[in-house]
Amino acid sequence: MPSTDDIAQPQVVEDPGAPIDGHTRIEELSTATEEEESEPSSDSEDDDGMNVHGWMGAKVPGKVPGKVPALYTTRPILKDELVTPTSIAQDKVVEEVLPFMSGKDPEILELNSHGLPALLRRKHIKFCQYGLGKFPSQFQAMDASRPWLLYWNLAAMSFLGEDLGRWRERVIQTFTPMQNPDGGFGGGHGQLSHCAASYAATLSLALVGGLDIVDRRTMWQWLGSVKQKDGGFAMAIGGEEDVRGAYCAMTIHSLLNLPMELPPNSPARVNGDETFLTNLGEWISSCQTYEGGIGSAPDNEAHGAYAFCSLACLCLMDAPHKSINKWLNVPKLLAWLSSRQQAPEGGFQGRTNKLVDACYSHWVGGCWALLEAAIAGPGKHEEFSLCDREGLVRYTLCCSQQKKGGLRDKPSCRADGYHTCYSLAGLSAAQNHYYYEEKEEAVMSNGLTAAFKWRCTRVTPEQRAKLAFDEGDTVGLVHPVFVIPPEFVERTRKQFQDKVGF
């Protein structure tokens, strides 16, 4: 198996302390023990243990402890008395997060004005920089995920406001040999092209302004080869067909402004007039389950990530108030998604009877802007919110942050690039108002303009106070469909908007 040492790596690591070699990295990212940073003691002679908000601002000069709503500090009142492995696991998670949500566990003592842990911006950026460095041999299992390693860390840094210019050449050098002659990107050198790898590669290159290396003609031909007769997309030639393939393929198609007609060799080209959109809406509709959620394919279990992929794909096809309402049962989907937000955790689970996981801050949390636009229609609707934004903010700041940098699934887990990226994307979704502006012009020669018409307004100081975060805790804007900052989406649109053919 090829070595992963040539994954894009920084020339300079901010405040590394010492050169980073393989042994340093595996200890930093994967061992069960870590050297704790020195923190001020939270002990006090006046603390009798009954002050649950004691560390949340009371002992830090200038901080005023906030009153944590009972929703986030109280064990569930209604409980099913049937004991199962699932219910036991859920009870353990509640006991795990309550000290963090209530303020009893002083893991992070740097607080915002509401008494919550502040966003550890510089530490998270440093964590992502490490994630773009060399990996030891133990990480060979991640060899097919090279594009994702770059995307997660680059995207997370961009959400935090970090300039990505220094990474441009290394990212381009990493992806150039991963592009296959017959189109698309593989997960590693010499590997077959795959929708997920091509999606992550395209977004990573968009983040650094490196999309010129993409062969648009062969990409179009390869995407046509994974388009299926029933309307969906396979993840690879001969691979599984699911909604990830549809979302990834149409994201690439839209950003690169590829021709709408299918290439002659596409298996979906039957009558000769088929396009990339033929039967796609019908196929996504068939993935909605009896619960109201959306599975990976027809008759599969509903899952939060597949809900996002389906909603985002429909928003690539047309305006959300048209496409989503046409192809999905919105009331049932709304009910299913609403049931994924947990209390007292405040975060989201991905499936029925599963545990809270910070990655669903995006996969479920990112669904709300799309659904809100589908229900409210085009235009600003800042006061229209379908989920508990405060709960998501609290879970991210209190439970997801790791003191040394990076974000994690839950407090008992270790931080990684995947959870760091999607926790921050979800935090942006909670902190900002995204809406669809139909009157805005966004010309693309292939006709797919809908995804380029999203706009955003930041919350007011009064709204920030209600959501319990400060300006210093604010994450940058994240495009609700493409999941990269809007300025990079706009730069890409301008680069390819006038392309006709190849």
Active-site annotation holder among 146, 409, 433, 435: 409
DSSP per-residue letters across 177-195: GGB-TTSSBBSSTTPPB-H
Out of 194, 269, 419, 453, the active site residue is 419
Chain CA centroid to CA 374, Å: 20
| Catalytic entry in 143, 242, 357, 473 | 357
Residues 280-294 as b/e (b if ≥16 CB within 10 A, e otherwise) read bbebbbbbbbebbbb
Closest-CA residue to 97 (of 342, 411, 341): 411
Q: Name the catalytic one among 114, 123, 170, 351.
A: 351
Q: Pick from 267, 232, 271: which is nearest to 249 by CA?
A: 232
Written as one letter, the residue type at 339 is S
Q: Which of 124, 244, 303, 340 is catalytic?
A: 303
Indicate left, alpha or beta for 272 from its phi (over 0: left) and psi (-120 to 50: alpha).
left
Give the pairing of strands 432-436 and 454-458.
antiparallel
Q: Is 359 a catalytic residue?
A: yes
Tokens coding 17: 């302390």
Distance between CA atoms of residues 258 and 444, nearest Å = 9
d(CA 94, CA 99): 9
Residue 299 a catalytic site member: no
Mark 82-100 as b/e (b = at least 16 C-beta within 10 Å). eeeeeeeebeebbebbbbb
Our answer to whether residue 253 is catalytic in this structure is no
DSSP character string of 80-115: -----HHHHHHHHHHHHHHHHHHT---S---B-TTS
228, two tokens: 């299926």
User: Which one from 359, 387, 399, 421 is the annotated catalytic residue?
Assistant: 359
| Catalytic (active site) residue 403 | no
Cα gap 455→102, rounded to integer Å: 35
Q: Which residues pair with 458 in a beta bridge?
A: 432
Please name the residue that has the structure tokens 């001969």.
238
92 is catalytic: no
Of 432, 371, 364, the C-alpha closest to 159 is 432
CA 415 to CA 408: how far, in whole Å?
A: 4
- How many CA atoms lie within 13 Å of 190's alpha carbon, on the beta-carbon side? 5
253, 416, 434, 464: the active-site residue: 416
Asked about 303 being catalytic, the answer comes back as: yes
Q: Which of 354, 403, 414, 499 is catalytic?
A: 354
388 is catalytic: no
Q: Annotated catalytic sites, by residue? A: 303, 351, 354, 357, 359-360, 409, 416, 419
